[in-house]
Amino acid sequence: MVGFQILQRRRQVDARYVQAFADIPVANVSDCMTRLTAGGPRLRPMHKGGRLGGPALTVKCRPGDNLMIHKALDMAQPGDVIVVDAGGDLTNSLFGELMLSYAITRKLAGIVLNGAVRDIDVVSAGSFPLYAAGVTHRGPYKDGPGEINVPVAIDGMVIHPGDLMLGDADGLLCVPYDDVEQVLAASREKVALEQTTIANIRSGKHDTSWVDARLKALGCDPTPR
């Protein structure tokens, strides 16, 4: 029944890709995806520090209700990232200390919540990756509806079950399952290029002639008057 359904995840990114992206900044990956996709600036890391990476187990739930998030915690496999579309509503928190403790014992890779959390003192003191849109003490309801392992969207970023979720201090990004290999190759090239640029900056060999060339192409005289 639409609105109340629990599905199996049919595919997921291989663990070797999760590991391969572990040291690549999310900003570099984003650049290689034409800067067209993002999880929205509202979703920020609530934990003390540390990267997020793993296959998505998706949850769509009614704002203010976390019944299906509890079910997803039971279903998730070690290394999974539970991605919750709760409409971005911050009236009720959908995740707190007890659920966090359970997620850690389940060896999950992280939680992404387009909604609010509570028990922020505990969350912010730990290293378990948890991204959310806000904080409130008011607790959730457990009545549904909700769906598990269906496509969800967060601020225009569409996440399918099994896609690769990445997160660092800059924010969140979803790499679609079918694009992982291509994006990984491009991201590695991007990292290598930036390392070369940094080396040139430090050695005094950095070439900025492109700035004036760009200004001229746009019809702006780059010479100060």
**Residue ranges of the binding site:** 96-99, 118-119
Output phi, psi for 121, to 5 deg: -60, -40
* Side chain identity, residue 52: L
Q: Please report, in range form, the residues annotated as the binding site for Mg(2+).
A: 119
Residue 220 Cα to chain centre, angstroms: 39
Q: Please report, in range form, the residues annotated as the binding site for substrate.
A: 96-99, 118
Query: How far apart are alpha carbons 144 and 147 in whole angstroms?
Result: 9
Query: How far apart are alpha carbons 61 and 53 in whole angstroms?
Result: 22
CA angle, residues 92, 95, 101, in degrees to nearest 5: 155
Which segments within the chain are labelled E, that is strand?
A: 4-6, 44-45, 52-61, 81-85, 93-95, 110-117, 130-135, 146-148, 152-154, 157-159, 164-168, 171-175
**Of 115, 131, 114, residue with least CA distance to 123:** 131
DSSP character string of 78-127: TT-EEEEE-TT--SSEEE-HHHHHHHHHTT--EEEEEEEE--HHHHHHS-
Residue showing tokens 């050695």: 203
3-class DSSP state of 215:
helix
